[in-house]
Amino acid sequence: MTRTILANARLILPDAVMPGAVTLQGGTIAAIAPGQGVPPGAIDLAGDFLAPGMVELHTDNLERHMRPRPGVDWPHAGAILAHDAELAACGITTVFDAMRVGSIPNEAPDADYDKYARALAHELAEIRARGVLRISHLLHLRAEICSETLLAELDEFGPGDRVGIISLMDHTPGQRQFRDISKLAQYVQGKYKLGDAEFAAHVARLKALRARHGDAHEAAAVQIAHRLGAVLASHDDTTPEHVATSAGRGVRLAEFPTTPEAAAACHAHGIMVMMGAPNLIRGGSHSGNVPAAELARTGHLDILSSDYVPSALLAGALILARIWDDLPRAMATVTANPAAASGLSDRGRLEAGLRADLIRFSMMDEIPVMRETWVRGRRV
């Protein structure tokens, strides 16, 4: 078995940062040793940080590669490979690729509501089987409650599809993420160039779909998540009542709660809170919801997601390190905590016996500079 020693690094351990070396063998971390020495044959990391590879639970990045412009459907194999390479370059070694399930045939704004997840998951599996992907890919199915075809699309997935997360997405205008409909108008009308009348019709259709299908879709999606063995996530909880409902369904992960009250209620129910790293970096939510930094300061932030900017994940963790004055705690929001939330006990920490998924980075002022990424001990 190939044996690699990464020496003279600043190791980000679960509870400390120390100079040391890590030995990789057979795809796992074989040993961790303190000290700044460089044994014969070791790779000298010259004092750079060495941390666990990052775990991304929610990203729209694959969809961005597939649809680089409204109405443009990029060849999917190329999109998957480019997405995979970009995440590896950003230090993400495990990703739950978010795919929307639940379509609205002939929806007015554009073709973004067409069915695509089942076919794309097949393509991803075929490419994975050919051994050309750099990092580990699992599925995150975003169950759109305001749709016509959710249950039929979910029923196309089985236990062999590596579905790790199912999130309940209720984008009905006027509540949750888009309590302020003007923010929705700004987003939708700006992206799809809709007039006021077209936007009003879009809003009315979504509200009608929620009234017609919402409760049944939510209940069935919860049951399907249990059948697939997937972690159930809520999305955009806004009130303590939303959170209580989520807890009653068995939700373990709250994606982007929109208010401080909802985030606090999540912790009271033992639900981990995930916020967007772009929110942290930009200093606030583009939808006008609670700033991630506010939740960090109150102790109600557990996990970061890159959401729509892969490079934001590491940069966001380092902002948390400055807020908390605690680098190990901050790095856990992108490594150990998302691994634990998604049931992956074999990664996310620098610990002997775990997967040898690691990243090396240095700093340029306060900006991280990614240097190298290893997955199962192989530099990718």
174 has a pLDDT exceeding 60: no
* Mean pLDDT of all residues in 44-49: 98
Which of these, 103, 183, 211, lies nearest to 151 by C-alpha position?
103
Compute CA 351 distance to the chain's CA centroid, rounded to the nearest angstrom. Answer: 23
257 has a pLDDT exceeding 70: yes
SS3 label, residue 125: helix
- Cα-based angle 255, 99, 109 (whole degrees, multiple of 5): 95
- pLDDT for the residue numbered 328: 98
More confident residue, 223 or 2: 223
Q: What is the mean pLDDT of the chain?
A: 91
* Mean pLDDT of all residues in 311-336: 98
Cα distances from 235 to residues 29, 252, 289, in angstroms, run 35, 11, 13
% of the chain surpassing 70 pLDDT: 91
The structure tokens listed for 196 are 């006021």
* Mean pLDDT of all residues in 325-335: 98
SS3 label, residue 333: coil
> pLDDT tens, 266-299?
999 999 999 999 999 999 887 778 999 999 999 9
* Mean pLDDT of all residues in 84-95: 98
Do the strands 28-34 and 17-25 form a parallel or antiparallel pair, or are they unpaired? antiparallel
Number of H helices, E strands in the chain: 13, 16
Which of these, 15, 77, 24, 138, lies nearest to 372 by C-alpha position?
24
* Mean pLDDT of all residues in 4-20: 98
CB 30 within 8 A of CB 21: no
Which of these, 239, 37, 47, 253, lies nearest to 142 by C-alpha position?
253
CA separation for the pair 378, 371 (Å, rounded): 14
The answer to which of 55-59, 182-186, 318-322 has the lowest mean pLDDT is 182-186
pTM here is: 0.91
Cα distances from 115 to residues 125, 139, 267, in angstroms, run 18, 16, 35
Compute CA 9 distance to the chain's CA centroid, rounded to the nearest angstrom. Answer: 27
Strands (E), 107-169: 136-144, 163-169
CB 371 within 8 A of CB 90: no
- pLDDT for the residue numbered 111: 47
The answer to which of 50-64, 92-106, 324-338 has the lowest mean pLDDT is 92-106
Q: Which pLDDT band holds residue 102 (cuts at 50, 70, 90)?
A: confident
* Mean pLDDT of all residues in 180-186: 65
- pLDDT for the residue numbered 287: 72
Neighbours of 228 (CB within 10 A): 21
232 has a pLDDT exceeding 70: yes
SS3 label, residue 342: coil
**Torsion sign (Cα): 249, 253, 259, 264:** positive
- pLDDT for the residue numbered 58: 95
More confident residue, 274 or 173: 274
CA separation for the pair 238, 16 (Å, rounded): 35
CA separation for the pair 266, 59 (Å, rounded): 22
DSSP 161: G
- Cα-based angle 256, 258, 264 (whole degrees, multiple of 5): 90
% of the chain surpassing 90 pLDDT: 78
CB 36 within 8 A of CB 54: no
The structure tokens listed for 236 are 């955009």
- pLDDT for the residue numbered 280: 96
Q: Which pLDDT band holds residue 172 (cuts at 50, 70, 90)?
A: low
More confident residue, 153 or 286: 153
Q: How many residues does the chain have?
A: 380
Q: Which pLDDT band holds residue 105 (cuts at 50, 70, 90)?
A: low
- pLDDT for the residue numbered 77: 97
Do the strands 17-25 and 3-12 form a parallel or antiparallel pair, or are they unpaired? antiparallel
The structure tokens listed for 188 are 């939708």
